[in-house]
Structure 1
Amino acid sequence: MAYTPSAELILAEMREFAAFAPGEQRYIRRSLDVGLGRTDAFRLWARDGGETASIRSQYVVYQDLKLLRRALVANGNAPAHPGTFDGQDAMESIMGPLLRVTIFDLAQERLGGFCAYRFLYERLLGAGVRPWLPGAFCGAAALPQIRPDRRKVLLQSISEAAATAPGWSRREPIFVPEFVELEAA
């Protein structure tokens, strides 16, 4: 059986997701349900009052995703190389909302590092967000809303290559994980 390039890409994305810790996988799927409006996240993901409150807050914070999607489209979406976004307006319209949402997600302490964060945000916002992710991640991870010991772990999780990428792929993610209900035997 021959694999097509898209089949190889989806398998690579599935392998990447499978490498995340179970708690990260759960949080990514939950966040995609909230951010993409796929299902009732309260019904599917809330196991207790604390999770219900967290999901409620996530729905409120994730309203910024609508602003981000519009800003990314208005500012040219996925640049292939740095420096292709013009002016302060692009910076403010993208980085402000992206930082707010990133701070929320990192403060939940369910994403272990940059790879899981990048995986989630590429699916929430598309390929156009890639150039902004290292800056938003590092900026949010360094803020006082994140516990000091957690800051260190998060900031050490971003590779030099990710932080200094000379360009970004325009290819949209293919695999978007969903909740899978296990059937009782």
Structure 2
Amino acid sequence: MREFAEFDPAEQRYIKRSLDIGMSRTDAFKLWGTTASENAAIRQQYVAYQDLKALRGLIPQEGTIGEVERLIGKLVRMSAFDLQQGQLKSFSAFRFLYERLLGPMARPYLPAAFCAAAALPTIKPQSRKILLQSLSEAAATAPAWSDAIPSFYPEFIEEAEAA
């Protein structure tokens, strides 16, 4: 919860909306679609996230290479979509979202997917620099990753409820 609170409001909003779309928690158009352009972005995100279920099944189990090529290709494509939206400004925000969308077994693959997506020419050069610099050496070279399932999944809260 503390990590999520450190993200800026735009990142928090995007993560909550993405979890609603990726986990089919609610009708994102009703909850998040306040303008025509936002409805278009939500529609694009539904399309970009259509491979989520397949991605979850492609994550190799301990010690197997398995479907790494298919996993990384699909994961980079989806990651590039999210980074192109300009709402995720760091590896921390990206990792927070993706370990919830894909589960804890995806953690070791997230730095590679993030680097590949952030380095694509479709990401604005200034954003590319900021994104790539946000990946710490410790995260990029971690010898092991936790397999603990995330326990906090942020959700939309009505303004009246929050008060």
**Shorter-chain TM band:** over 0.9
Aligned: 1:56 with 2:43: yes
> Could you say which residue in structure 2 is the equivalent of 1:37?
24
> Could you say which residue in structure 1 is the equivalent of 2:121?
144
Work out which structure has the larger RCO, using CA pairs closer than 8 Å and 6 or more positions apart in sequence.
Answer: 1
Letter in 2 for 1:53: A
| Moved beyond 4 Å, runs of 4+ | none
> Could you say which residue in structure 1 is the equivalent of 2:64?
85
Q: Tell me how far apart the structure 1 counterparts of residues 140 and 69 of structure 2 sit (CA, whole Å).
A: 20
Task: Report the 3-state secondary structure (helix = DSSP H, G, I; strand = E; otherwise coil) of the residue aligned with 1:63.
Answer: helix
Identity %: 59
Task: Report the 3-state secondary structure (helix = DSSP H, G, I; strand = E; otherwise coil) of the residue aligned with 2:67.
Answer: helix
Paired residue total: 162
Unaligned runs of 5+ in 2: none
Task: Report the 3-state secondary structure (helix = DSSP H, G, I; strand = E; otherwise coil) of the residue aligned with 2:160.
Answer: coil
Task: Report the 3-state secondary structure (helix = DSSP H, G, I; strand = E; otherwise coil) of the residue aligned with 2:129.
Answer: helix
Q: Tell me how far apart the structure 1 counterparts of residues 58 and 14 of structure 2 sit (CA, whole Å).
A: 25
CA contact (8 A) 1:107 1:145 kept: yes
Task: Report the 3-state secondary structure (helix = DSSP H, G, I; strand = E; otherwise coil) of the residue aligned with 1:112.
Answer: coil
CA contact (8 A) 1:138 1:155 kept: yes
- TM-score, normalisation: structure 2: 0.96
Letter in 1 for 2:149: E
Letter in 2 for 1:85: T
CA contact (8 A) 1:67 1:97 kept: no
Q: Tell me how far apart the structure 1 counterparts of residues 138 and 64 of structure 2 sit (CA, whole Å).
A: 21
What is the root-mean-square deviation in Å for CA atoms of aligned residues? 1.2
Q: Tell me how far apart the structure 1 counterparts of residues 104 and 91 of structure 2 sit (CA, whole Å).
A: 16
